[in-house]
Chains A and B, each alone.
Chain A
Amino acid sequence: MIASAPLDFAGLADTLRRVTVAISDDGAARGSGVLWPRGHVVTNAHVVRRSRVIIGTVESDHLQAELVARSVDDDLALLRLVGIELPTARLTETAARVGSLVVAVGNPLGLRGALTAGIVHGIGPITRNGAPWIHADIRLAPGNSGGPLADVSGAVVGINAMVAGGLALAVPIARVLEFVRSAGVAPR
């Protein structure tokens, strides 16, 4: 049964905005990123095309980050923050369930920190025998790329990467962990 407490999407949005960044590489905002692991940002490979980028948080713009690793196949990139300490996102420890609520925070069409809500639609490959993706029934737009898909406890379950057939596709957190480890960075 649902408790009588309010459904606090606003509180959830605040939590996630603190660990979501905007990324630009030539002045124009290109996408979003997640503050994780400590001292780093994960985002999509297609968001980062230069070795140095500018990131913006809820508190300050014009922070610098440099590219550590990039995988076009997984559409993931890892950035290192230069000379600044920032909060770190919490990751999910459980597998996503079809039907569970998810939210996305990002910068769709340049709108900073926008929240959308939906559910996990399915989990599976998008090409025959490919790696699994999280398919979410949630509205995303260009600028959400690289941002968090999170459960309603605020834990990140995937990195939003693209929209196909009206569905959002996110890289599952397990694959993000592998990518970060292979880049020689401790995943915490």
Chain B
Amino acid sequence: MDALLALSTELAGAVEQAARYVVGVNARRRFGSTGVHWRPGLIITADHTVEVDEDITVTTPDGRTLAATVAGRDPAIDIAVLRVDAGDLAVAEIATEPARVGHIVLAIGRGPRASWGLVSAIGDGRRRHPETGDWLSLDLTLYPGFSGGPLIDARGRVVGMTTSGAARHFQIAIPAGAVGRTVDELMRRGRIPRPYLGVGGQSVRLSEALRERLRTDQRSAVIVVDVQPDSPAAAAGLMVGDVIVSLGGARITEPGDLRSVLRPQQVGETVTLSVARGGDPRDVRLTVGERTRRS
């Protein structure tokens, strides 16, 4: 039983280690969520748990309450970054190697509270965000309030940020690498830009004939019902009635996909949209704009 004892001690030690940099995030009405002190003064949490932009606080492991402001949000991968005056709050140790299927991992919630399990798969089968690295699917329970907390390995190092908000029925974690890139983007630009296309659409079913002509097996796409003047979509020549099938290689099956497939770092980049215009497939090159506060 020595190996079991050693593992048990290692897991408890990992939780103790993580408890030094895990905070409570108080940014929604019902109950709080969890955050990770990722870099000095920057707390990351799950974007869907940040329901307000003002009067946000975080609770430190020793019970202090710190005022926090939203430094940036990336709803596409469910990350929000908060700025705090962290003082001597410990900073998370981030794992340098990615998690592997079969690794024992722990999800940590404010308190600390812990649950354990395995990395059961990498990717959710849809690969919606190929450039962010795939989500980690977890065989463990994310209890209420755990979202935004760290997924740690048996040594207490962060391998991801857990969230139950991005994919209902799935317990997932955003890999630490993707979280790090979002934080990098924030540091580089001073904010997390929000991508902007300037197009409104509705879901439309693709007929068998159209699917064949487009060489796709997807059953729905998005028909453009509105192109905002002076927008990236207008500049690219997108027209009402165009059917958008994919954007930058990612499938567009419903209007929400137009927002969720774009990454903050793609602002200013040119992407290719596959559209059907009058039943004929064509590619449209579009330079992604940045959504201002008002638009």
Interface residues of A (CB under 8 A from B): 1-9, 11-12, 97-101, 118-122, 124, 135, 137, 151-154, 165-167
Contact = CB atoms under 8 A, between A and B. Distances in A.
Contact of B114 (A137, A151, A154): A137
A121 B1 contact: no
B260 interface: no
Given A118-B116, A167-B143, A2 B10 contact: yes
Interface of B: 1-16, 19, 106, 111-116, 140-141, 143-144
Given A2-B6, A121-B115, A98 B1 contact: no
24 contacts: A2-B10, A3-B2, A3-B3, A7-B3, A8-B3, A12-B1, A12-B4, A98-B12, A98-B114, A99-B15, A99-B106, A99-B116, A101-B7, A119-B11, A120-B12, A121-B113, A121-B114, A122-B111, A122-B114, A124-B111, A137-B140, A137-B141, A153-B1, A165-B144
Contacts of A166: 141, 143
Contacts, number: 88
B163 to A, nearest CB: 18
A99 B5 contact: no
Nearest to B115: A137
Contacts of B4: 7-9, 12, 101, 152
Contacts of B144: 165
A38 B54 CA distance: 60
A8 B140 CA distance: 22
A120 B114 contact: yes
B116 A119 contact: yes
Contacts of A153: 1, 5
Given A12-B1, A166-B143, A98 B112 contact: yes
A101 B114 contact: no
